[in-house]
Amino acid sequence: MRVEVTTWYLEMLDPSQLNFSPPGDYELRIEQARIPSPELSRFLYSSVGGDWYWLDRLTWNYDQWMQYLDRPELETWVAYLSGTPAGFIELEAQNNRNVKVNYFGLLRAFIGKRLGGHLLSVGVERAWAMGAQRVWLHTCSLDGPNALNNYKARGFKVYKSVVRVETLPDRPPGPWEGAY
């Protein structure tokens, strides 16, 4: 199907702009995945993005995942709720002291439990600790319905938007083929 997709580019230019969302009353742990693991990263990517048309990396093989992950400028942080992976944020240090939030989101079972604001806050704090002078990301109208509002609530400002037409499958792929 052909759909019109809006992509918003957002940035934060100073750590003081972060509206930190405190953790809720739950057993949440956010930990860096320090060992490059294509299995873990593919699980997170497809489990979080399967409902939102995250398609770009689904065709990557093991070597492509490893080549992407095994770089000092890339960090993956995983949120665990009572020991279960609940979501992740992927940060990439770039030129000119920019840090990009490449991917961020929650697994379906954890959406709506007030985890996303806190995970994003912790991730943005980490981006500043990486030496950022600017933290940026993009999201689009295909992402979760709360994505753009969460970014804005944390203090990100839209600096550009682009509308394009894309050809997509009739429905998102889900976390794995046949999951739904």
Question: What is the pLDDT at residue 90?
Answer: 98
Phi, psi of 56 (to 5 degrees): -55, -40
Question: What is the pLDDT at residue 88?
Answer: 98
- Averaged pLDDT, 54-59: 96
User: Residue 116 falls within a domain, yes or no?
Assistant: yes
User: Alpha-carbon distance 64 to 148, whole Å?
Assistant: 29
Structural domain range at position 124: 2-167
pLDDT at 75 over 90: yes
User: Residue 174 falls within a domain, yes or no?
Assistant: no
DSSP symbols for 52-103 = TT--TTTT--HHHHHHHHS-TTEEEEEEEETTEEEEEEEEEEEGGGEEEEEE
Over residues 14-47, the pLDDT tens digits come to: 999 999 999 989 899 999 999 999 999 999 999 9
What 3-state DSSP class applies to 159? strand
Over residues 121-179, the pLDDT tens digits come to: 999 999 999 999 999 999 999 999 999 999 999 999 999 999 999 999 999 999 998 88
The number of domains in the chain is: 1
pLDDT at 93 over 90: yes
User: Residue 122 falls within a domain, yes or no?
Assistant: yes
User: Alpha-carbon distance 116 to 147, whole Å?
Assistant: 9
User: Residue 173 falls within a domain, yes or no?
Assistant: no
pLDDT at 180 over 90: no
User: Residue 120 falls within a domain, yes or no?
Assistant: yes
In the structure, what pLDDT confidence band is assigned to residue 83 with cuts at 50, 70 and 90? very high
User: Alpha-carbon distance 149 to 155, whole Å?
Assistant: 10
Q: What is the CATH number of the domain that holds 56?
A: 3.40.630.30
Answer positive or negative: Cα dihedral of 116, 122, 124, 130. Answer: negative
Question: What is the pLDDT at residue 66?
Answer: 98
Question: What is the pLDDT at residue 163?
Answer: 98
Question: What is the pLDDT at residue 60?
Answer: 98
User: Residue 138 falls within a domain, yes or no?
Assistant: yes
Helix and strand numbers, DSSP H then E, in the chain: 4, 7
Question: What is the pLDDT at residue 162?
Answer: 98
Question: What is the pLDDT at residue 121?
Answer: 98
What's this model's pTM, rounded to 2 decimal places?
0.96
